[in-house]
Every structure is written in C-alpha cells, then in structure tokens.
Amino acid sequence: MSFIAVTDITNFTPTQAIVGQETTLAATVQPTNATNKTINWSVVSGPATITNGKVTPTGSGNIVVRATIENGKLQ
C-alpha cells in the first residue's frame, strides 16, 4: 500500500458557537482516500478550549481554530 498525503482540509463547521456550549468540530479532508484523515484541532486565538474534537467558547469574541493532520505526509 502506498502512502497518500492530505492535500487540503475544507468545509469547516461550525462557523459560529455559543459561549459555554460545547460544539463538535468537523471538516472534509482531501483526497478522500488519504492514508491518515484524523484532524487535530487547536485554538490559535480567542476565548475557547478544545477537548476531543469539541470546542467550547469561554467568552465572547472571535475564535480562530487550526486544523492539522498528524503524519499528513510521509516522514
């Protein structure tokens, strides 16, 4: 089996969340037959926490979330 790298992550949801309400993060990984499609989520800026792929805003304001793929390319 050959390694197939992720080329893009698109269609992020949600685009809005409510303070104090946990919301599941989701996105589409391309190509669909990539070897590893597991998305790792992290907060870049803004009042929020992420646990197990779920974001919880802890205050009002804009939140920037980053989606990355662990081992997304052959190492």
Residue-wise pLDDT for 49-75, tens only, equals: 999 999 999 999 999 999 999 776 543
Which pLDDT belongs to residue 70? Answer: 79
pTM for the full model? Answer: 0.85
Which pLDDT belongs to residue 74? Answer: 40
pLDDT digits (tens, 9 = 90+) for 7-62: 999 999 999 999 999 999 999 999 999 999 999 999 999 999 999 999 999 999 99
Which pLDDT belongs to residue 72? Answer: 60
Q: Give the Cα separation of 43 and 25 in Å (integer).
A: 12
Nearby residues of 75 by Cβ (< 8 Å), 6 or more positions away: none
Q: Which tokens go with 48?
A: 């929020």
